[in-house]
Structure 1
């Protein structure tokens, strides 16, 4: 992703500028730095928002963006190392406790919806659709070292090696997928190619005929000429991931909300508050441009109200949930 390398170069320069552009007396041309990290799934949105915010000409600020995974982002948020954590799942109980112990308070703000996409190599001509039971048989912990060939999942699939690619344990996509498939977060076989960088997973599927992988829809959308999305069997028949199937609720249970978590103390800095407002108001449009499902206008309005009212905490209570709607997220009461 050329945008990725450009952003990393820009933000590295920004960090150096922020450290060295002002004198000890505080020169007026010093550039403030907003620190962001977390989900690789959310990264394309975060990257687009950061670039638009920095190039708007209205802000003397640079935004650094990392992709250590949702879990990695929460670790940094609860240590006070970053201002904004990008997350592809809600914060969990143990992460809430770490933030609480460190005196870190935060706002949970939805920014878009995503469809976790199951993909195979384009030359794979035997998988026309897949059930959640098939995915469980492939990915559950009991499959490790046991389910190694395609025909062990379905007898009419070929007797060839099953090569699996998926997010690592710090990924929110990993947490959500395992909750949806194995009915327990982080319940997964360990003998697969894992990475918090979705680009690594994309390349793995592109280069292996016998591969199956999963990651956020945006990474599939930007590589759809080199891989194939697999329809998920539902009570209404096979459903492909798309903006339409997420909006109408037919792509279940692998559609999910995406979030940013903002450190409350950082919002006292005017540039951070302006950036978060920009993220909410412009993020929906930019999310759609990079392959995600945008929030409806009503949801954006409510998210801004939550920001202005300083609504702290999470509406999930630290418990992973599958299949929630954006209306559910915005109507619940939050707790720290």
Structure 2
């Protein structure tokens, strides 16, 4: 994290914010059937990406605080798990994703009559992390591929001679995750696959905990989880052939951090957008995408520019009109 980023908001306040947002999501999962006014609560079901989860949870909590009769529930199912098991079979209103919807998911939605649209929410710097006392500071794309491919190396000295002869312990995204898909596509390629010799989870904080204090460990997740949990972790720089670049809000925004800078999305169904309260929630989500304090300082992603936000809002308004 750069000095400018670290000055933007204290670690304590970031953690407090994310904890509150996650807690709010947990409360929403429990469900409440009545609002304070006694009217029936209008529920919104949101599934999908654990990477998008902190941002959507924060936005949902702010919306809920001003709309006590609406209850958005945000679930971490992974991008693919959300599409396949919930959204494309008609069981959720939105699916968050850390990569675009895939052709087989499009087909599944089509088979079930689920029409949808894509909204861009923010930019992420997918982050490789090691313990703060690790010997690894920067890795090339090829070295990352050797660590994570199906036929992966076993020890760190197989990655680079100067590294110690210690077994590699890996922590990463589950295969239902968009982060898993994005990492394969942009690091080792689909033909080299992804190792099964790792601890897989949709709970990104578990990746952080597994890597902390473990010199042999390496993991990857969305930048927000490093931004929220910097103590005991080190973000690894990535050398894409033009020198080492560390992940940060600044290098993601500039496009310097390649190939792991990516867009984050949410997909509302048109059926959901035909309901006025869900359409209003969707508008609120898009409105927040340029909020520097919420998106960057509190959550840890790059906000949209005003022009891109306007494009997304027009797409949404067109979809709402089509839905009605």
- Residue-by-residue CA offset, 1:174-206 (whole Å, 9 max, x unaligned): 000010111228920101111011011111111
Q: Indicate conservation of the 8 Å contact 2:42/2:70, yes or no.
A: yes
Residue 89 of structure 2 corresponds to residue 73 of structure 1? no
Counting only pairs closer than 5 Å after superposition, residues 288-307 of structure 1 correspond to structure 2 as 288=296, 289-307=298-316
- Deviation above 3 Å: which 4+ runs of structure 1? none
Q: Indicate conservation of the 8 Å contact 2:238/2:257, yes or no.
A: yes
Question: Structure 1 or 2: larger helix share?
Answer: 2
Counting only pairs closer than 5 Å after superposition, residues 5-154 of structure 1 correspond to structure 2 as 6-13=23-30, 15-17=31-33, 29-56=39-66, 58=67, 60-75=69-84, 76-124=86-134, 126-143=135-152, 147-154=153-160
Q: Which of these residues, 188, 202, 210, is aligned with residue 204 of structure 1?
A: 210
Q: 2: CA distance between counterparts of 1:209 and 1:171?
A: 26
Counting only pairs closer than 5 Å after superposition, residues 244-283 of structure 1 correspond to structure 2 as 244-283=250-289
2:174 aligned residue: 168
TM-score with structure 2 setting the length: 0.88
Q: Indicate conservation of the 8 Å contact 1:231/1:239, yes or no.
A: yes
The secondary structure found in structure 2 opposite 1:194 is: strand
Could you tell me how far 1:281 is from its partner in structure 2? 0.6
Q: Indicate conservation of the 8 Å contact 1:107/1:311, yes or no.
A: no
1:322 aligned residue: none
Judged with a 3 Å threshold, the aligned counterparts in structure 2 of structure 1 residues 212 and 11 are, in CA distance, closer, same or farther, namely same
Q: Indicate conservation of the 8 Å contact 2:289/2:309, yes or no.
A: no
The secondary structure found in structure 1 opposite 2:215 is: coil
2:14 aligned residue: none
Q: Indicate conservation of the 8 Å contact 2:273/2:320, yes or no.
A: no
TM-score with structure 1 setting the length: 0.85
The secondary structure found in structure 1 opposite 2:121 is: strand
Q: 1: CA distance between counterparts of 2:230 and 2:279?
A: 36
Could you tell me how far 1:129 is from its partner in structure 2? 0.9
- Residue-by-residue CA offset, 1:253-307 (whole Å, 9 max, x unaligned): 0010000000100101111001000000113322212000111110000000001
Could you tell me how far 1:243 is from its partner in structure 2? 1.3
The secondary structure found in structure 2 opposite 1:275 is: helix
Judged with a 3 Å threshold, the aligned counterparts in structure 2 of structure 1 residues 224 and 158 are, in CA distance, closer, same or farther, namely same
1:321 aligned residue: none
Q: 2: CA distance between counterparts of 1:255 and 1:191?
A: 25
1:330 aligned residue: none
Q: 2: CA distance between counterparts of 1:158 and 1:311?
A: 57
1:317 aligned residue: none
Could you tell me how far 1:59 is from its partner in structure 2? 5.2
Q: 1: CA distance between counterparts of 2:51 and 2:26?
A: 20
Residue 200 of structure 2 corresponds to residue 194 of structure 1? yes
RMSD after superposition: 2.0
Could you tell me how far 1:6 is from its partner in structure 2? 2.0
Give the stretch that moved more between structures: 177-186 or 271-280.
177-186
Q: Indicate conservation of the 8 Å contact 1:109/1:259, yes or no.
A: yes
Residue 19 of structure 2 corresponds to residue 2 of structure 1? yes
Could you tell me how far 1:12 is from its partner in structure 2? 3.6
Q: 1: CA distance between counterparts of 2:52 and 2:289?
A: 11
